[in-house]
Amino acid sequence: MNDIRMPTIHTAGLAATEAAANAALRLSPHSVEALKPIAGRVLALECTKPSITLYLHSESNGELRFRGVHDGPVTTRVTGTAQDFIALAQADDPAAALINGGIQLEGNSSTLIDMQRVFNDLDIDWEAPLVAGLGDVAGHQLASMLSAAFHWSRQSGENLRRQLEEFALEEAGIAPPKLALEHFYEDVQQLRERSERLEQRVERLRLRLERLRPA
């Protein structure tokens, strides 16, 4: 009973959601332009409990497509339970919640970040068309997934990009370990303090020289 089959039950709801999203995009030409460079990239939002998967991608003209099934490769996959997505949607720091919570992110994270930037600028009512097409339970769950994935502040989106880049560098062995970074930051702080003291000494010396000059 928990497995919600997308191809048959969800067609109407997804079509209504797609129409609502594209209607909002038509009122925001810069958002359409922002989607064109990521045309063809497929983002999968996968809820494991209950089982729901939603696929999103943009066309070359900037229009969005919402699908319940997808046979080709997926660029980015975001996976978690319904509770994980709700926790992400309600988090004060979504970037930290995504990195440290139960949500799993696979593939190219830039697709999620780029779409998040676009959707965050749009005023889209996800729940109304989904509930109308899918019913209260499934509609609310899918709306929660979309809100969790996209409705962040701009600062949270930048935090996510930074944290993912740091995480990827550490995993690749390119970035120094955390302890080494902490020592580096301490050294930088000490150097800054020494520079400030040196500036103060130079200023005192300058004032003394000014007083010693003949009138």
Structure confidence by residue, pLDDT tens digits, 60-116: 999 999 888 888 999 989 898 888 887 877 777 766 777 777 888 888 877 887 887
DSSP-derived secondary structure for 17-80 = HHHHHHHHHHT-HHHHHHHGGGTT--EEEEEETTEEEEEEEE-TTS-EEEES---S--SEEEEE
C-alpha distances out from residue 197 to 3, 42, 133, 187, Å: 66, 55, 68, 15
Q: Please state, in angstroms and as integers, the Cα–Cα distance from residue 84 to each residue in 49, 75, 178, 184, 187, following that order.
A: 10, 21, 27, 35, 39
Residue 105: its H or E element: strand 104-107
The predicted pLDDT at position 153 comes to 47
User: 6-171 — its CATH code?
Assistant: 3.30.1050.10
Kindly state the DSSP code that residue 176 receives in the 8-state scheme: P
Question: With contact defined as beta carbons under 8 Å apart, do 106 and 79 qualify?
Answer: yes
Where exactly are the structural domains of the chain? 6-171, 176-215
One-letter identity of residue 152 = W
**Tens digit of pLDDT for each residue in 23-51?**
888 888 888 898 999 898 999 988 888 78
Residues 6+ apart with CB under 8 A from 36: 58, 60, 61, 62
Give the pLDDT score at 57.
92
Range among 56-65, 115-124, 142-151, 204-213 rated most confident: 56-65
CA distance 130 to 137: 10
Please report the pLDDT score of residue 59 as a whole number.
92
Higher pLDDT, 119 or 32: 32
Of 213 and 51, more confident = 51
Phi/psi at 52 (nearest 5 deg)? Answer: -140, 135
Contact 55, 80 (CB under 8 A): no
pLDDT of the residue at 180: 59
pLDDT of residue 170: 52
- In contact, 86 and 142? CB cutoff 8 Å: no
What residue has token string 């209260």?
136
